[in-house]
Amino acid sequence: MRTPTLIEKMQKYSAQNYFPLPVVLARGQGAKVWDVDGKEYLDFLACYSALNFGHQHPRLLAALKGQAERLAVCSRAFYSEELSLFCEELALFCGMEKVLPMNTGTEAVETALKLARKWGYEIKKVASDRAKIIVLKNNFHGRTISIVSFSTEPSYRDGFGPYTPGFEVVNFGDVAAIENAIDENTVAVLIEPIQAESGILLPPTGYLSELRKITRKRKVLLMLDEIQTGLGRTGKDFCFQHEGITPDVLILGKSLGGGLLPLSAVVSSAEVMRVIRPGQHGSTFGGNPLACAVGRAALDLMKKEKISERAETLGKIIRDELMRTPLPKVKEIRGKGALVGIEMAESSGGARRYCEKLATQGVLCKETHDFVIRIAPPLIISESELRVGLQKIIQVIQAG
């Protein structure tokens, strides 16, 4: 079927909870995708960092197919070989001790929230049902009721009350605001090292290291949501490594599943993780052998293909190409590694119109928060492919 027919079917039969560009994809390979009409595109979105390894990576496909032929799913009522190996390899890769596997990023965030509250009651001795978690303005951690309860984006939040209590919102990038918000009931601070969904917003240099000192001093867990920034995207294995710290709780997802299937995890110390006991938390598909086999292959690729170093190289090319050309309609270009936001001036008419034009030119980007064009290609993209896409972006912005 052709594009108009399939879009019509989506509009007729599917809930309209997304506002996609008018492109119907059918196939992908590496950094390229093709629509149902055979048109080729460069993927500059990478499914919000779920496709750090690109589309259909042969080594990941081999892991998927090989495990699917042996054992895809089994109950956590039993041990499984792949889960045991995955937990060991992910813990060592993160430099931490314990892994709690889930499926989606949102599930991992919910898991971390439960973990923090349980730790607060059992270890910090916070009074029952008084635990407080500090979160940041403009955050994006998912779309469950509890998570949208502390969102500051009206479109994520409005109409979904009553909201889950126990959260306090402070300004992103302001260490003093977090320190002032900590009280005897505070069990954790939950943050994204870079607020990707909110327009690639970066905190001041030293923010994470100062926050690490404060949370240690005040006996509060530092929980980092690296679902979008982790596994190489910012030029390090994890974004927190840019400041030489380690969080108490690390939340991972998206590309952990190799861009092939959902896989997420909460990684922490043995001291923190021991508060979760049998029967208190779980997931039917969390840690299934199929996902774990792909996750292990993804971690192996991280090391053998030097994905983080590759992201640093790509990021430099992106910023150099964009900044060497005068772009009067651009307000700011910001980012870290291969996660870059182009913020358009208010007079530009918004980012959506540029993303729509880019799609006609064979480059797939997506607007975020109205005025930011997000640039985050697969980390396996060739430099020549990257430069071709960047030149098209520059041309479209210049043409207005």
Q: Which active-site residues does the annotation give?
A: 140, 225, 254
- Check: CB of residue 156 under 8 Å from CB of residue 148: yes
Residue 328 makes CB contacts below 8 A (sequence gap 6+) with 345
Handedness of CA 322, 323, 326, 328 (dihedral sign): positive
> Could you tell me the two tokens for 86?
């995955």
- Assign 263 to helix, strand or coil: coil
Label residue 334 exposed, middle or buried (CB < 10 Å: 0-12, 13-18, 19+). Answer: middle
Nearest Cα to Cα of residue 126 among 49, 219, 8, 235: 219
Question: What is the full DSSP assignment across 100-114?
Answer: EEESSHHHHHHHHHH
CA–CA dist 125, 128 (Å, integer): 8
Residue 293 near residue 63, CB atoms below 8 Å: yes
Beta strands in 116-156 (DSSP E): 132-136
H runs (alpha helix) in 95-234: 105-119, 145-149, 154-157, 175-181, 207-217
Give the span between the Cα atoms of 153 and 308, in whole angstroms.
Answer: 31
CA angle 57, 59, 63 (to 5 degrees): 115
How many angstroms separate the first and last alpha carbons of the chain?
33
Beta-carbon contacts of residue 45 (< 8 Å; ≥ 6 apart):
364, 365, 366, 374, 376, 377
141: phi > 0 → left, psi -120 to 50 → alpha, else beta; which? Answer: alpha
Quote the DSSP letter at residue 194. Answer: S
For 190, list phi and psi in degrees, rounded to 5.
-110, 120
